[in-house]
């Protein structure tokens, strides 16, 4: 049974999207495929304010990526903040750029384009005065306050490369990132606020800085006014440095391929990678996708309730919406504070027209019942988006029927930190949707499904999702380790970019993303590596070995299942379990939690000593009957013990 959901008549009125109907979509798609340079040059010239307009499209490609990153628009010169700020001062200086909703309902602030421009200029001058220069790395470790966006844009304004670290990460994680990119300045705040609780950002920063040498200055925004440890030689109040700075600043001219930011993300193995996005391609792609996917209109109140610590916040709270001159809502709190009606309350109060969230939040809120939704007026809504993980059809229908009252387009947007922006998605209001499918690729995106041997599959098929051609928003490299970029993404299924996701394509050519096929976990939309969990667990003296896998979780999408082998002489206990939780919290952050722990006599290994993760996965998924071939195991009795003690 596969019902398609046609376009509601009301939402299609007034759309001037690139693809107003499916025939137009197919035409634009095939133009972009047959002449990508022409398509993207036209897009960037139309959407982006260049100092020197580019004349070249793509140079290089996947075949030569090992020698050199591919490039887009390489002869263009720009500063992305001129697209996001300066040019809007002529047409709509007083329009709200950032509409902030604080942790307490109704605690709001607005920054017009004029005010945001001024703040960014002041912050840019302040950063320069603190010694920041073009090309320097600056870490931003903040909560969801407008100043986080100001900080990002101020870095971009002076040509410094920002790296935002999500405020839930631990001191250890923050330290690793500081050291990896050799950041010179860190911008933080005294405390974050979330769901009525405070988050000690400055004191975690202080901890992280022990064991780093590169940081010269810590710029601290005051959010709560709590008492702080203060190092006069290093720490600077945002208010002292920024408020008194000159409100005019001449933006630094940047080459299209100069780095704009680094964002760390987890992979199958090793420590998180610093994914690098560059100025010209990234801003083009985020502006294009934000306007196209959501069918953006001039009076929209657009709300993406992600965190700027993740790519969604970069692309669809800050860069895309501001490049498009939109009003972008920034939300400091959580969906259940003070109760499960918070989103809908906020939508009513701010008359939100486009709302973008994650399936995990939809599932959690659906479980609280419809009353929390129906008590608020949602008639302003037109487009409802989801991102971060596969959305199950039940959650999709609840979003469509209950939240959207059957009037809104649902856009299930598939993309990744590495893709910079949305790749596979319905285009509102045009694409007919199917609950649970991300539907069709955007123009410029060429999906290929391959089998495990890497052979492309045609027509309806199931396999691994690759993309065949570069687009402007694609990450160019891994900071300081280009070979790692090449081996992670381009060597598994040559000559394609491998996404790490499994995928099905149906008869209509619609894509259904089934989730990661590698050792990356997606827990409540948070991407984490199993290897990071395992490293944290084996750092405990009592733990000899650990194997961590995901299992299906009704709300979080995936839960974390840890198999632990104890050192001789140590017994499992409650205190021991707490020690495991503390270890992952310390190594990764507050968002990392183990849902199930199983103490096992050993891990299932092949005779050559390789852990057979497939077995761990199947048992955690509750499918011990589907283990497949286990004849290569060194010690089959281990598997019996694992099955016998499985936690469900």
Q: What residues line the site for ligand WT7 (CB under 6 A)?
A: 265, 310-312, 387-390, 412-417, 438, 499-501, 513, 515-516, 522, 527
Beta carbon of residue 395, minimum distance to ligand WT7 (angstroms, whole number): 12
Of residues 111 and 466, the one with the C-beta less far from ligand WT7? 466
Taking the complex as a whole, the smallest distance from the CB of residue 266 to ligand WT7 amounts, in Å, to 8
User: How far apart are CB 588 and ligand WT7 at their closest, in Å?
Assistant: 14
Closest approach, Cβ 464 to ligand WT7, in A, equals: 11
DSSP per residue, 173-189: HHHHHHHHHT-SEEEEE
Q: Quote the longest CA-to-CA distance of the chain.
A: 73
DSSP state of 168: T
Neighbours of 546 (CB within 10 A): 25
User: Cα–Cα distance between 262 and 144 in angstroms, integer?
Assistant: 19
Cis peptide bond prior to 408, omega within 30° of 0: no
HSE-up (13 A, CA, CB side) for residue 417 = 27
Return the DSSP state at 608. Answer: T
Q: In residues, how long is the chain?
A: 648
* C-beta of 183 vs 499, nearer to ligand WT7: 499
Q: Closest distance between ligand WT7 and the C-beta of residue 433, in Å?
A: 12
> 17 vs 499, which CB is nearer to ligand WT7?
499
Are the C-beta atoms of 166 and 310 separated by less than 8 Å?
Answer: yes
Nearer to ligand WT7, 249 or 464 (CB): 464
324 or 416, CB closer to ligand WT7? 416
Structure tokens belonging to residue 312: 């969604």
Instruction: Please give the helix or strand (H or E) that residue 421 lies within, else none.
Output: none
> Which residue, 217 or 516, is less far from ligand WT7 as judged by CB?
516
The minimum distance between CB 426 and ligand WT7, in angstroms, equals: 11
CA pair distance 646, 551, nearest whole angstrom: 12
| CB-nearer residue toward ligand WT7: 257 or 501 | 501
Nearer to ligand WT7 by Cβ, of 141 and 166: the residue is 166
* Nearer to ligand WT7 among residue 223 and residue 527 (C-beta): 527
Provide the minimum distance between the beta carbon of 151 and ligand WT7 in the complex, in angstroms, as a whole number.
Answer: 21
Q: How many CB atoms neighbour CB 337 within 10 A?
A: 17
Smallest distance from ligand WT7 to CB 557, Å: 9
* Shortest distance (Å) from residue 20 CB to ligand WT7: 24
Number of Cβ atoms within 10 Å of the Cβ of 448:
22
- Tell me which residue of 611, 643, 615, 612 sits closest to 627, measured CA to CA: 615
CA of 648: how far to CAs of 74, 559, 611, 645, in Å? Answer: 54, 11, 22, 9
Measured distance CA(473)–CA(425) in Å, rounded:
16
* Contact assessment for residue 337 and residue 106, using Cβ atoms and an 8 Å cutoff: no
């Amino acid at each position: 049974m596969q019902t398609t959901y046609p376009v509601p008549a009301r939402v299609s009125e007034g759309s001037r999207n690139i693809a107003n109907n499916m025939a137009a979509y197919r035409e634009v798609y095939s133009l972009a495929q047959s002449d990508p340079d022409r398509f993207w040059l036209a897009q960037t010239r139309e959407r982006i304010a260049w100092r020197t307009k580019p004349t070249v499209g793509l140079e290089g490609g996947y075949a030569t990526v090992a020698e050199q990153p591919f490039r887009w628009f390489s002869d263009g010169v720009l500063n992305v903040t001129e697209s996001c700020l300066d040019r809007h001062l002529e047409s709509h200086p007083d329009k709200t750029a950032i509409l902030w909703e604080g942790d307490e309902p109704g605690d709001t602030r607005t920054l017009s384009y004029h005010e945001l421009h001024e703040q960014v200029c002041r912050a840019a001058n302040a950063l320069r005065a603190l010694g920041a220069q073009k090309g320097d790395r600056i870490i931003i470790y903040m909560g969801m306050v407008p100043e986080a966006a100001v900080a990002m844009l101020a870095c971009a304004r002076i040509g410094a490369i920002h790296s935002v670290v999500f405020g839930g990460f631990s001191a250890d994680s923050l330290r690793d990132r500081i050291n990896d990119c050799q950041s010179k300045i860190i911008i933080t705040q005294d405390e974050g606020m979330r769901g009525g609780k405070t988050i000690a950002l400055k004191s975690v920063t202080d901890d992280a800085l022990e064991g780093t040498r590169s940081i010269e200055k810590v710029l601290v925004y005051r959010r709560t006014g709590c008492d702080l440890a203060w190092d006069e030689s290093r720490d600077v109040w945002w208010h002292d440095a920024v408020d008194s700075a000159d409100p005019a600043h001449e933006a630094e001219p940047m080459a299209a391929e100069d780095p704009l930011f680094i964002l760390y993300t987890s992979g199958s193995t090793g420590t998180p990678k610093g994914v690098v996005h560059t100025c010209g391609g990234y801003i083009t792609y985020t502006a294009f996708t934000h306007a196209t996917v959501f069918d953006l209109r001039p009076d929209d109140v657009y709300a993406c309730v992600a965190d700027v610590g993740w790519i969604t916040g970069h692309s669809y709270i800050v860069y895309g919406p501001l490049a498009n001159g939109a009003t972008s809502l920034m939300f400091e709190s959580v969906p259940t504070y003070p109760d499960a009606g918070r989103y809908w309350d906020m939508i009513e109060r701010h008359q939100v027209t486009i709302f973008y969230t994650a399936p995990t939040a939809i599932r959690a809120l659906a479980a609280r019942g419809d009353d929390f939704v129906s008590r608020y007026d949602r008639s302003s809504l037109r487009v409802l988006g989801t991102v971060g993980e596969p959305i199950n059809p039940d959650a999709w229908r609840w979003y469509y029927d209950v939240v959207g009252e059957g009037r809104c387009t649902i856009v299930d947007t598939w993309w990744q930190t590495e893709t910079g922006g949305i790749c596979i998605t319905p285009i509102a209001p045009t694409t007919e949707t199917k609950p649970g499918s991300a539907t069709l690729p955007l123009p410029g995106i060429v999906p290929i499904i391959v089998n495990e041997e890497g052979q492309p599959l045609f027509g309806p098929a199931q396999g691994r999702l690759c993309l065949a051609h570069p687009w402007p928003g694609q990450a160019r490299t891994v900071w300081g380790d280009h070979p790692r970029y090449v081996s992670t993404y381009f060597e598994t299924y040559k000559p394609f970019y491998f996404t790490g996701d499994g995928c099905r394509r149906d008869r209509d050519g619609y894509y259904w993303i089934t989730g990661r096929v590698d050792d990356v976990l997606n827990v409540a939309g948070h991407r984490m590596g199993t290897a990071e969990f395992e490293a944290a667990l084996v750092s405990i003296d009592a733990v000899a070995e650990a194997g961590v896998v995901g299992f299906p979780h009704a709300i979080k999408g995936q839960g974390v299942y840890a198999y632990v082998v104890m050192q001789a002489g140590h017994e499992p206990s409650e205190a021991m379990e707490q020690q495991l939780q503390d270890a992952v919290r310390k190594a990764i952050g507050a968002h990392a939690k183990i849902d199930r722990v199983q103490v096992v006599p050993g891990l299932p290994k092949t005779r050559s000593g390789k852990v057979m993760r497939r077995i761990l996965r199947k048992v955690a998924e509750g499918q011990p009957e589907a283990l497949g071939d286990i004849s290569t195991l060194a010690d089959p009795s281990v598997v019996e013990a694992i099955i016998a003690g499985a936690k469900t």
